[in-house]
Protein backbone atom coordinates (compact mmCIF):
# COMPACT_ATOMS: atom_id res chain seq x y z
CA UNK A 1 0.00 0.00 0.00
CA UNK A 2 1.35 3.38 -1.00
CA UNK A 3 1.60 6.15 1.59
CA UNK A 4 0.23 9.37 0.15
CA UNK A 5 -2.09 12.22 0.89
CA UNK A 6 -2.76 13.30 4.46
CA UNK A 7 -0.92 10.34 5.99
CA UNK A 8 2.29 11.38 4.24
CA UNK A 9 2.06 14.92 5.63
CA UNK A 10 1.17 13.65 9.09
CA UNK A 11 4.24 11.41 9.00
CA UNK A 12 6.40 14.43 8.23
CA UNK A 13 4.85 16.41 11.11
CA UNK A 14 5.26 13.39 13.41
CA UNK A 15 8.94 13.06 12.44
CA UNK A 16 9.57 16.75 13.19
CA UNK A 17 7.74 16.62 16.54
CA UNK A 18 9.50 13.40 17.51
CA UNK A 19 12.87 14.91 16.55
CA UNK A 20 12.18 17.94 18.75
CA UNK A 21 11.08 15.62 21.58
CA UNK A 22 14.29 13.61 21.34
CA UNK A 23 16.46 16.75 21.22
CA UNK A 24 14.74 18.06 24.35
CA UNK A 25 15.36 14.74 26.11
CA UNK A 26 19.04 14.83 25.16
CA UNK A 27 19.32 18.45 26.32
CA UNK A 28 17.73 17.58 29.68
CA UNK A 29 20.10 14.62 30.06
CA UNK A 30 23.09 16.87 29.42
CA UNK A 31 21.84 19.40 31.96
CA UNK A 32 21.16 16.67 34.50
CA UNK A 33 24.72 15.40 34.15
CA UNK A 34 25.92 18.82 35.35
CA UNK A 35 23.63 18.79 38.36
CA UNK A 36 25.15 17.67 41.63
CA UNK A 37 23.12 15.36 43.86
CA UNK A 38 24.75 16.64 47.02
CA UNK A 39 26.97 19.65 47.29
CA UNK A 40 28.51 20.80 50.54
CA UNK A 41 29.38 24.46 50.17
CA UNK A 42 30.55 27.14 52.49
CA UNK A 43 29.87 30.85 52.07
CA UNK A 44 32.93 31.31 49.85
CA UNK A 45 31.44 29.03 47.18
CA UNK A 46 28.14 30.81 46.65
CA UNK A 47 28.76 30.99 42.89
CA UNK A 48 28.66 27.16 42.70
CA UNK A 49 25.35 27.10 44.55
CA UNK A 50 23.97 29.73 42.17
CA UNK A 51 25.10 27.68 39.16
CA UNK A 52 23.35 24.61 40.56
CA UNK A 53 20.13 26.59 41.09
CA UNK A 54 20.33 27.81 37.49
CA UNK A 55 20.78 24.25 36.21
CA UNK A 56 17.81 23.02 38.24
CA UNK A 57 15.70 25.94 36.94
CA UNK A 58 16.60 25.04 33.33
CA UNK A 59 15.69 21.40 33.93
CA UNK A 60 12.35 22.41 35.43
CA UNK A 61 11.63 24.71 32.46
CA UNK A 62 12.14 21.77 30.09
CA UNK A 63 9.57 19.52 31.76
CA UNK A 64 6.49 21.13 30.14
CA UNK A 65 7.87 21.20 26.55
CA UNK A 66 9.07 17.61 26.93
CA UNK A 67 5.65 16.47 28.13
CA UNK A 68 3.84 18.44 25.43
CA UNK A 69 5.97 17.19 22.54
CA UNK A 70 5.86 13.62 23.86
CA UNK A 71 2.08 13.62 24.08
CA UNK A 72 1.81 15.28 20.66
CA UNK A 73 4.14 12.72 19.07
CA UNK A 74 2.20 9.83 20.62
CA UNK A 75 -1.16 11.26 19.56
CA UNK A 76 0.06 11.86 16.01
CA UNK A 77 1.34 8.29 15.84
CA UNK A 78 -2.05 6.95 16.95
CA UNK A 79 -3.87 9.15 14.42
CA UNK A 80 -1.56 8.02 11.63
CA UNK A 81 -2.02 4.36 12.58
CA UNK A 82 -5.80 4.80 12.71
CA UNK A 83 -5.89 6.50 9.33
CA UNK A 84 -3.63 3.83 7.82
CA UNK A 85 -5.83 1.02 9.16
CA UNK A 86 -8.99 2.83 8.02
CA UNK A 87 -7.55 3.31 4.54
CA UNK A 88 -6.52 -0.33 4.40
CA UNK A 89 -9.97 -1.53 5.45
CA UNK A 90 -11.67 0.86 3.03
CA UNK A 91 -9.58 -0.46 0.12
CA UNK A 92 -10.10 -4.07 1.20
- pLDDT tens column, 24-57: 999 999 888 866 655 655 666 777 777 888 888 8
| Residue 1 confidence (pLDDT) above 60 | no
Q: Where are the domains of the chain?
A: 6-36+45-87
Handedness of CA 88, 89, 90, 91 (dihedral sign): positive
pTM of the model: 0.80
Cα torsion 7, 12, 15, 18 to 10°: value is -80
pLDDT, tens only, 2-18: 677 899 999 999 999 99
Amino acid sequence: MEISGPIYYLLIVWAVVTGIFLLLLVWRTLLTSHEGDQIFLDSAQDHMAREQREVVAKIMKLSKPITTTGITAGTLLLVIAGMWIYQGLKNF
